[in-house]
Structure 1
């Protein structure tokens, strides 16, 4: 099992925008890592304190095959100076890929969280 991380930012605390961002982020992680939904053990989402309009997992639940994936939402720690309007995800995935072969996905302003990763 491997963990695949990702993050994305939204412009506003809006239900549709939060759901759309979660779907885009998860879809990119799945595509870049060639992951099938049946290989996902769980998806753990977190959102910053300023995102209160919706659960990110509700957006991901609409993706094909995600009706059977265990999803969990949490509140991101409120740290002074941390990025706002940010959704993060950790997918726990059954894979034979090495840790160095995993592509973590950071989109929008969230790319600044992992400047060591190459942007696509």
Structure 2
């Protein structure tokens, strides 16, 4: 079965290392909570808010040695007034036997505000 796993996090500063570090942390947590491997991943869509431009977060996925052939694309979020700032979102499409209601979507830092109903189960929510 193909499922989408959502994740989001925020940074304090628009700096390359911070963007890459928090993106890596988010993906690690998504993998840990949903037990998938690179071979299970069909694609990853990463979006950033318009106030982030110091780095492509997709570069963080290349820190994972077995993710060389995983298709990844970055895009910009729609700049809706009042939306969460300095936010990085991931949508990982995976092959899994997990039922949809068993998928653990991961929201870290200020991104817990996006889906408090789902973020409460996060081990690293704060």
TM-score by length of 2: 0.93
- State the 1:69 CA deviation: 0.6
Spell out, residue by residue over 1:31-81, the C-alpha distance to the aligned partner (whole angstroms, 9 max, x if none).
100011110000100000000000010112211311111000000110000
Q: State whether structure 2 residue 14 is matched by structure 1 residue 13.
A: yes
- State the 1:4 CA deviation: 0.1
**Paired residue total:** 120
Give SS of 1:50's match: coil
CA distance in 1, matches of 2:107, 2:53: 21
Structure 2 gap ranges (5+): none
Aligned residue in 1 for 2:99: 98
Structure 1 gap ranges (5+): none
1:1-120 matches, cutoff 5 A: 1-117=2-118, 118=120, 119-120=122-123
TM-score by length of 1: 0.97
Moved more, 39-48 or 60-69: 60-69
RMSD: 0.7
Give SS of 1:65's match: helix
CA distance in 2, matches of 1:23, 1:54: 13
CA distance in 1, matches of 2:74, 2:67: 15
